[in-house]
A = this chain, B = another copy of it.
Amino acid sequence: MTTTDAFESYLAKSNLRVTKERQQLYDGVRAQKGHFTVDTLVHRLKESGYAISRDTVYRNLPLLLEAGVVRQSFRAGRETIYEVDEGKPHHDHLLCSQCGKVEEFVDPKIEALQEDVARQFEFELQHHCHQLVGICKKCRKS
């Protein structure tokens, strides 16, 4: 299965239609490097000649999330930040409250402890949101 099929096979499985917009959205999303917001995504899609409405993006985001194409990364103020979720392993974020710098980290021990907590409360863990906020080295110097 080529990577191009990932979203289409999800759509087929869910009895959803493969539209031009969904294909373009999939392409556009995968072209994103790093973190992005819905607005920047729409803007970049337009630049690439894909005129997909903001609503269509919003409507299809749950599908892209479900299909494992994108991942809700974190929230910066009002905006939700997304990132591509293909190939890249799970990780959490460390943000600088001064300059907005974003670092990614993974800690298997924390992941395991999260599972323990969920088990303890008899929850079936679906996902988690874990952000550390602090001041980076550079900002601390000024």
Binding site for B on A (CB under 8 A): 75, 94, 96-97, 103, 105, 107, 109-110, 113-114, 116-118, 120-137, 140
Contacts and interface: CB of A to CB of B under 8 A. Distances in A.
A94 to B, nearest CB: 6
This chain: how many copies in the complex? 2
A136 B113 contact: no
Given A110-B113, A127-B133, A103 B121 contact: yes
A131 B135 CA distance: 21
B121 A114 contact: no
Given A97-B126, A123-B132, A128-B132, 10 more contacts: A105-B121, A109-B113, A110-B110, A110-B113, A114-B132, A121-B136, A123-B134, A123-B136, A123-B137, A129-B131
